[in-house]
Amino acid sequence: MAEQLISTAEHDRLPDSYVRPETQRPRLREVVPDAEIPVVDLADPDRAAVVARVAEACRTHGFFQVLNHGVPEELTAAMMSVAYEFFRLPAEEKAKLYSDDPGKKMRLSTSFNVRKETVHNWRDYLRLHCHPLEHYVPDWPDNPPSFRETVSAYCREVRELGFRIYGVISEGLGLDGGYIKETLGEQEQHMAVNFYPRCPAPELTYGLPAHTDPNALTILLMDQQVAGLQVLKDGRWIAVNPRPSSLVVNIGDQLQALSNGRYKSVWHRAVVNSDRPRMSVASFLCPCNDVRIGPAAKLVTGDTPAVYRDYTYAEYYAKFWSRNLDQEHCLELFRT
């Protein structure tokens, strides 16, 4: 099955299995190329101003870019470099890591869920579980030689950044600063290293179609040379262009539920291009599997009743992976 990987060869024609029906194509000419994107400087000494900017971005966009985030620039560069090195490995070496089983803790795969979908996506990806590191790193790829050390260091930094952002988001909701981190339990951490090869017909397919993230918070390291992330805002797709030294923060489904719908899990997609490949590294903070998730009690009143029922993350995650990526919002299945 590893022959399904699209990163093992150049392609001069888009295979039929990747061609979207006409009504589902990305319509790239209609994308807003220069929309204003929320940007938050985490080094701003005015804490109240940072909290207010993040809260506004969570309400209006469901995502924002962060500057002065504390992850060393040389580490983000090394992470991107080792990701490209990995996908340049010989096909036979990558084939050893291939799996289409979404339950595997470490796998190299393609598209999204090839067992379920009818049209594929122009993406190969390496999926890693990252916490606790000492449990998972021994099973990670050991080639390139610097892979385990570099990715481990990046994972540690991003985890701490995510917890700092949780504090800001909690305060913006009028909750104690530690509320989200404590409520979501001993959180798992996953990573998707996404590789989007040059595509012969980018207007006919996606790297990933429109979706929200099932976890709590996503921190995305973007390729600084190539754009491809787009988010839905007021019914229109807007391009999120690379900003030097920044990371992108996405609100996931679990924070939409916890905020009782005040903050929106952002609909986003990845498009591809015919000129050059693109890489992104998505880090996902995920609630503990058995913790019960639902709207924060302080946010549920007579005027604002609970929008979602309580559930466990294990229940949610199983439902998410049982469906196609571009079906209705999975959170809709958990409404009261």
Domain assignment of residue 223, given as a range = 2-334
**pLDDT tens digits for 184-208?**
999 999 999 999 999 999 999 999 9
Distance CA 246, CA 164 (A): 16
Residues of the chain with pLDDT under 50: none
CA separation for the pair 205, 256 (Å, rounded)? 29
Model pLDDT, residue 169: 98
Number of domains in the chain: 1
Q: Which residues pair with 195 in a beta bridge?
A: 124, 279
DSSP state, residue 34: S
Question: Which of these, 127, 336, 122, 119, lies nearest to 215 by C-alpha position?
Answer: 127
Distance CA 172, CA 159 (A): 20
What's the confidence (pLDDT) of residue 210?
A: 94
Distances (CA, A) of 273 to 123, 151, 196, 245, 279: 12, 27, 9, 23, 12
Model pLDDT for residues 134-187, shown as the tens digit of each residue: 999 999 999 999 999 999 999 999 999 999 999 999 999 999 999 999 999 999
H-run or E-run covering 81: helix 73-87
130: domain CATH number? 2.60.120.330
Question: If you search the block for the tokens 């209609």, which residue do you land on?
Answer: 30
pTM equals 0.96
Q: How confident is the model at residue 102, as a pLDDT?
A: 82
Identify the pLDDT of residue 332: 93
Q: Pairing between strand 106-110 and 63-67? A: unpaired
Check residue 31 and give its pLDDT.
97
pLDDT number for residue 115: 76
